[in-house]
């Protein structure tokens, strides 16, 4: 990774920045930083006499710092697009470089990332002041600065929507959490220019985020705010740290999908896609587990069973959603199901073990586990690993032969048998203890 930092080892420093004036851009960033500091000092002086409320004081300072940071990002270099290179016919030249597809993506994106990291480092002290006023940990300030400074405009826009107190006021924090999960699912799909129109509306991103932060002041008792702590297993998780983890997962998924679009990975790089899915499962399971246990007062065994079902469905959906259905070579890399078993087994091993992570973090004793359900759960994941490999292999062959754009739906045909195993009657037959029907659909049975 360190070799990509050096301009001598990374050819994209000079190639992509030939027309980019780094000195004028840095000068513009420093001018914006100075104006932001002056605006924060002036606002602090006015608010000290007009609105001595510390919450208003901190929110205004945070909004000014965020606004200045997003304006400074206008001066950053444009992130290179492999899709644009493909349309210009220069992608084949890039693929001749002595880089694997994953290394090529890192090398190409590193110069622009380094500039964003430089700007984020300058703005970090400005975020620390309002976060100290709020009494929020500095780790959350680091997460907020990283989200604003290192994420794409698409991610910042959706992050602002997740912070929107209007949604919370009417539907509760659960709706914001579901929106965050949807955000992490769709953000990695930007391999093509399908979200290109969002990249051109930075000013709307700024205004939306600016308004979302300030609006939280005008609600008398906001249940969902920037310092919200969400239930997480047996404890709690700060909102900003959870959002940073989800955005980090979506970034890794986008990185892996782009690398797979360039070239089919080999060796252990085939398993990179498992890491973002594992992060998403860990965060979503933790929040669901904490909500069921702490707010709905469910038994720990019921939490284990429902989180297992949720993990099975969510991991399968992300697996199919984040798979590539187009490639740079314009040809479908068909594979036999046996060649896909390594990837599908890795996915289902993570899915099968994740509920036991919740079991460990929640302090369930082994005597409380329903071993009939555990055996069924492990068998289900074992069988579905073969099912995913066969379904994916068939989908690729159909796509190669008939070019069916909706071939992804063939995956769900193969998933029906395994999903049917999760029905209420099958779970009841496999369980020797009472279980609860998820989300209150029916009375307690057993």
Distance CA 99, CA 115 (A): 22
Average pLDDT over residues 427-440: 44
pLDDT for res 133:
78
For residues 199 and 74, the answer to whether their CB atoms sit within 8 Å is no
Question: Packing angle between helix 274-290 and helix 239-262, nearest 10 degrees?
Answer: 160
pLDDT for res 299:
83
Distance CA 374, CA 371 (A): 5
pLDDT for res 345:
95
pTM value > 0.85: no
The four Cα atoms 41, 44, 46, 50 give a dihedral, to 10 degrees, of: 180
pLDDT in tens, 324-349: 777 777 677 778 888 889 999 999 99
Q: How confident is the model at residue 131 (pLDDT cuts 50, 70, 90)?
A: confident
Q: For residue 352, is pLDDT > 60?
A: yes
Distance CA 408, CA 411 (A): 6
- Return the closest-CA partner of residue 13 out of 92, 135, 150, 109: 109
Q: How confident is the model at residue 285 (pLDDT cuts 50, 70, 90)?
A: very high
Q: For residue 41, is pLDDT > 80?
A: yes
Q: For residue 255, is pLDDT > 60?
A: yes
Distance CA 282, CA 274 (A): 12
Q: How confident is the model at residue 440 (pLDDT cuts 50, 70, 90)?
A: very low
Q: For residue 317, is pLDDT > 90?
A: no
Distance CA 276, CA 294 (A): 27
For residues 276 and 252, the answer to whether their CB atoms sit within 8 Å is yes
């Amino acid at each position: 990774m360190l070799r990509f930092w050096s301009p001598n080892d990374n050819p994209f420093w000079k190639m992509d920045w030939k027309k980019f004036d780094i000195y004028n851009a840095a000068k513009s960033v420093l001018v914006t930083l100075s104006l932001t500091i002056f605006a924060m000092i002036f606002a602090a002086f006015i608010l000290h006499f007009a609105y001595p409320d510390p919450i208003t004081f901190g929110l205004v300072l945070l909004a000014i710092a965020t606004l200045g940071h997003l304006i400074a990002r206008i001066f950053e270099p444009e992130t290179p697009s492999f899709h644009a290179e493909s349309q210009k016919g220069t992608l084949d030249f890039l693929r001749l470089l002595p880089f694997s597809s994953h290394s090529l993506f890192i090398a190409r994106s590193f110069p622009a990332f380094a500039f964003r990291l430089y700007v984020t480092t300058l703005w970090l002290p400005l975020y620390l002041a309002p976060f100290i006023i709020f009494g929020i940990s500095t780790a959350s300030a680091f997460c907020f600065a990283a989200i604003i400074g290192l994420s794409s405009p698409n991610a910042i826009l959706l992050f602002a929507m997740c912070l929107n107190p209007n949604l919370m006021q009417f539907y509760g924090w659960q709706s914001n959490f579901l929106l965050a999960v949807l955000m992490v699912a769709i953000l990695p799909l930007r391999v093509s220019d399908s979200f290109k129109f969002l990249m051109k509306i930075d000013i709307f991103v700024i205004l939306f985020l600016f308004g979302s932060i300030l609006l939280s002041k005008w609600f008398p008792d906001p249940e969902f705010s920037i310092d919200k702590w969400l239930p997480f297993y047996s404890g709690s998780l700060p909102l900003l740290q959870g959002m940073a983890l989800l955005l980090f997962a979506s970034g890794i998924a986008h990185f892996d999908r782009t690398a797979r679009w360039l070239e089919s990975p080999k060796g252990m790089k085939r398993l990179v896609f498992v890491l973002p899915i594992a992060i998403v499962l860990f965060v979503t399971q933790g929040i669901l587990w904490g909500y069921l246990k702490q707010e709905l007062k469910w038994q720990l065994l019921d939490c284990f069973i429902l989180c297992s079902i949720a993990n099975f469905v969510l991991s399968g959906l992300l697996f199919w959603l984040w798979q590539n259905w187009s490639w740079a070579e314009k040809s479908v890399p068909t594979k036999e199901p046996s060649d896909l078993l390594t990837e599908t087994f890795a996915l289902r091993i993570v899915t099968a073990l994740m509920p036991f992570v919740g079991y460990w973090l929640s302090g369930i004793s082994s005597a409380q586990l329903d071993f009939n359900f555990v055996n069924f759960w492990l068998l289900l994941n074992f069988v579905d690993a073969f099912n995913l490999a066969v379904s994916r292999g068939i989908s690729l062959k159909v796509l190669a032969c008939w070019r069916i754009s909706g071939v992804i739906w063939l995956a769900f045909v193969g998933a029906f048998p395994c999903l049917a195993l999760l029905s209420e009657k099958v779970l009841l037959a496999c369980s020797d203890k009472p279980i609860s029907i998820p989300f209150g659909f029916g009375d307690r049975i057993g």
